[in-house]
Homo-oligomer: A and B are copies of this chain.
């Protein structure tokens, strides 16, 4: 991956690779789940659900060695089924894991196979005339005829615990890398006359992630699945290929999502809401019938029938009550708007409580920061804040109060009052000539 982050800790569609695999594994409700961690285990462990155990593989001596490390943690009966998955296969589906778990009583292992365009480097799956799997031959041992087989062993298995433990004990590290390969277990079982089963998977499902390119491909496929499921439920998307919804997000049927939308974290979008184009929302709630476009939302709550954007930034602690509006070039932080309150244009509202039906004029700024501390601004219901009002916090503006355009308000304003801070307008006739002379002088100079 050309990255310091352990491979399985990379994210795709909002989940780490190992979390995707654990999610697939959860389909069979396993009694125990063990993740084998090596390099960077301190970055992987916090990603794991509580019920998951970890086994530390201090030195990386191959997949067989890793499997042994996992088995050490478990207390198994011979007949138990052990499913071995790779942490870098995020596209494994629940269906496939379920299928794998259906290991028949008379079989020692069930293995995932896949038919590849180019099988070079993989162990080929050998079947008899009836189609039963009778072995896996590693490429180095293949006959010319076997080499042409395109069905390969994907390295993912369900094993019967007894045979697995027995065979693992026989696996040697007598190879160029000096590693213990789990793959060798298959040959050992076959040599003992054990019977195998196979489940076919698409090459995509068993794709291991080993590069940024493959990570991007996996993300694309995971998003495709998420979006397909949402559309199936009745979510409209103009262009699902350009809609980036993490697995953790809830979008209700009847929501409409335009392209260029990123929904992350615990975000929810209610029925009848329209989101996008070009919205980034993390850990935010978008209510029924709300419209949000060309905006960024972080830990914000957009209530029913609210309007946001185009071009708004709602930061942590923004709460919009029903029917309120945060319009164009407006930024909010730790601020609530009451029902039907409006901040339609160019305002910065920080640490403010704004009452119902209050109108915030264009250019209004809550001067909440004095260079040392942040202070609150409280505005009542039905107030009218004139354009370009500076609200020097801490401050309280009463219900039905008004402020004059361009005023710097430093003292509280009573209910129903008009507060204004302004000088009188002066007019200096003939100023245009001054300006024009200056212009002429400059042009002469140039």
Using a CB–CB distance below 8 Å, which chain A residues touch chain B? 1-3, 211-213, 215-216, 219-220, 228, 231-242, 244, 253-254, 258-260, 262, 277-278, 280, 293-294, 296, 310-311, 313, 328-329, 331, 345-346, 348, 359, 361-363, 365, 367, 369-373, 382, 384, 386-388, 390, 392, 400-402, 404-411, 413-433, 435-436, 438-439, 442
Contact = CB atoms under 8 A, between A and B. Distances in A.
Can you list the 5 inter-chain pairs with the closest CB atoms, starting with the nearest? A2-B234, A418-B431, A416-B432, A212-B231, A406-B408
Contact of A212 (B234, B387, B401): B234
Contacts of A416: 429-433
Q: How many copies does the complex hold?
A: 3
A365 B390 contact: no
A133 to B, nearest CB: 27
A363 B361 contact: no
A421 B422 contact: yes
A239 B234 contact: no
Contact of A373 (B293, B426, B442): B442
Contacts of A430: 416-417
B406 A405 contact: no
A195 to B, nearest CB: 33
12 contacts: A2-B253, A2-B254, A213-B231, A215-B236, A260-B277, A280-B310, A359-B369, A365-B387, A372-B438, A387-B390, A406-B407, A416-B431
Contact of A345 (B262, B331, B388, B420): B331
Given A407-B425, A411-B427, A421-B425, 11 more contacts: A212-B234, A216-B237, A216-B240, A258-B262, A311-B311, A329-B346, A372-B439, A402-B435, A409-B425, A417-B429, A421-B424
A253 B3 CA distance: 8
B363 A348 contact: yes
A219 to B, nearest CB: 7
A322 to B, nearest CB: 21
A116 to B, nearest CB: 21
B428 A418 contact: yes
